[in-house]
Structure 1
Amino acid sequence: LKGKVAGLNIVSSGSGPLNSQQITLRGNNSLNPNGNNALIVVDGVPVNNEMTTSGSSASYIGEDSPIDYGNAISDLNLDDIKSVTVLKGPGATALYGSRAANGALIITTKSGKKTSGLGLTYTSSVNLDIIQRWPDWQYEYGQGTGKSFNDAGEPYYSYGGSEDGNNTGSTSSAWGPRFDGQEYYQ
């Protein structure tokens, strides 16, 4: 659709196979990213096309590192689509109200049809995603801050308050003492 409809802009928020698609028909008129989306109507039923993201308060960056869980348009199977109609302007608003003020995409899916005899259709598709870069992990140092020393002045790592010192496992720093075969409390 991107090259066939004037004013249509499709933006993907991520690079994964299930990332959200932001579809705008009449440009941006709101600072809210979800306020610019076109209304998606599948077989007469409006679907929520807002991006579904969530952050984790337990992660290192917390809510500032959202995860994209996709949106309703990502759930459609392309092989099931029969036709797509694009409505812009007052025609979309007249049919679907203020929700379609930014335009509407009317999607009609294929339906079964009665045939005589045995009818069989087989469709297959494969989607491969290539990881461009694996993160570099270090396996030389234990978790800690590198500033944790026990009473004897030796660096330590511990997964709870113990005889060798306080807990070093709850820190986000992964550069504690070097692994040299030493024992540690766990």
Structure 2
Amino acid sequence: MSDTTEVPRQSSENDQDNNLERTNSLKSPDVTNNIPSLFKLAAEWQINNPQETFQNHILENDVLKKINEITHLIRESYKDLSSQDGMMSKQQQEKMDWDLFCTVPVNIIEQYTKDMDEIYEKMERLAKQQRLWCESAFQIDVERCGDSILNAETWMKKKERHLEYKNIEMERSANEIKETIQRLTDDR
């Protein structure tokens, strides 16, 4: 089956070569047919494999050589790993300590709970002290207010007594003036 598929390709290449030669000879009869066909160039390219020569030329650069060495080392290390069933050597593996894996979170949670309880107790003590300070400040304010009201009340009572005394004095003075005026008017 592969033989039959290659034969038509060769015949088509030959036909195209002949067509190119005909067109070249028709265009310029003076020029000899020294120009190889495109298909011949492609065939030579694949046979000679110039890609390797270009790659070797490019790899002459030091940086590219180092990159090539690194990729080669990486490939070798992957080969070593794959030869060990995709696992690293058993000497390098550490066993998982499941007890430690389970106890560490429990210890963290216990420590967190303990710290939060201590903080809550401190906050309760501070809140109690704050309530005591507020209550004592309120009591002091009440006493001061009571004292100032009591002082104002006593001052008002004294002032009222003084005004009553003045009123009595003025009434007495007014009565004396009235009596004196009446006596003077009666004596006349």
- The two structures have a TM-score, normalised by structure 2, of 0.15
Could you say which structure has the higher helix fraction?
Answer: 2
Q: Which has the higher contact order (CA 8 A, sep 6+)?
A: 1
**Structure whose CA Rg is larger:** 2
- The two structures have a TM-score, normalised by structure 1, of 0.15
Could you say which structure has the higher strand fraction?
Answer: 1
